[in-house]
A and B are shown apart, each in its own frame.
Chain A
Amino acid sequence: MNILFALLSGLVFGFGLIVSGMTDPAKVLGFLDLGGAWDPSLALVMGGAIAVGLVAFGIAKRRTVSFLGLPMQMPAARQIDRRLVLGGLTFGVGWGLAGICPGPALVLLGRGLPQGVIFVVAMLAGMALFEILERRKSKTPIVFHQPGRSPS
């Protein structure tokens, strides 16, 4: 049942990305281009998504199990550290270069666009590099600071 809801959620998410214009990198770059002819559309995408999200996560916060009886696994990490900021900045530079973030990348791949294939392969390589660096670090015997990671 959980698998079915994950599939449905991915599908609806993909529909939202397509309808909103997020899968058109030229439009995304139009939003990020404050110095040119600015297209404010994507602010409304965020606004619409957060309007629904505020209600949903408000309900989620008061529950310990989901409607399917599964444990609620909301992120517990609280600390605002260098990792969070540098990671966000790095992601933002990549986003600004191509106008593609992870969700739309997968939709472009699903469409079979060669650019989608190239981007997703590179993105997976970046994620794999992170895993390798993390694994190497976790072998270091002294850990002064254990950064929390949220599943987002």
Chain B
Amino acid sequence: MTIDWAGFTPYSALAGGLLIGLAAAIFALFSGRIAGISGIVGGLLRPKGGDIAWRVAFVLGLLAAPWVFATVAPLPVSRIDAGTGTLIVAGLLVGIGTRYGAGCTSGHGVCGLSRLSPRSLVATGAFMAAGFATVFVVRHLFA
């Protein structure tokens, strides 16, 4: 393994991580809920009374974030190499997988690990392992 020191951005990564943690903290301590993006979005597809508004508000906050951010600082680049076909397959797998596994990087990876949940540790291990394996296959076996 070689380390990409040129691409390594420890300070912005740590600062961003602290902000993500802060967002999860606000949501847990004020709203009493887990800031799990796939669960919040997925719940919108299963409408229950009184359960919609806060989900929509959270999603709107995420959607508005790049706009608000751009008023303070220039947005960093988002390089997306995946083509349309890959994006569709990836999106489908992420959608169905996060709902079956009851969580994604935020719900299991951040909130679940912070709660010391064994269930989330297993889920995080599973999606990290599959992520590493997929990139290995795509980049080094088929490249």
Contact = CB atoms under 8 A, between A and B. Distances in A.
Interface of A: 2-27, 29-30, 32-42, 44-57, 59-61, 65-68, 70-75, 77-80, 83-103, 105-111, 113, 115, 118-131, 149-152
Nearest to B68: A11
Nearest to B20: A16
A10 B39 contact: no
Contact of B119 (A27, A46, A80, A103): A80
Contact of A152 (B2, B12, B31, B39): B39
Most buried by A among B13, B22, B54: B13
A48 B78 contact: no
Chain A interface SS verdict (over half): helix
A101 B37 CA distance: 9
A14 B37 CA distance: 11
A140 B69 CA distance: 48
Contacts, number: 525
B29 A66 contact: yes
B18 A16 contact: yes
B114 A74 contact: no
A24 to B, nearest CB: 5
A14 B19 CA distance: 9
A41 B13 contact: yes
Contacts of B120: 152
Interface string B17-52: 111111111111111111111111111011000000
7 contacts: A35-B139, A48-B20, A60-B29, A75-B117, A87-B123, A102-B106, A124-B45
A35 B45 CA distance: 38
A88 B130 contact: yes
A106 B33 CA distance: 19
Interface hub of B15, B32, B101 (most chain A Cβ within 10 A)? B32
A121 B50 CA distance: 25
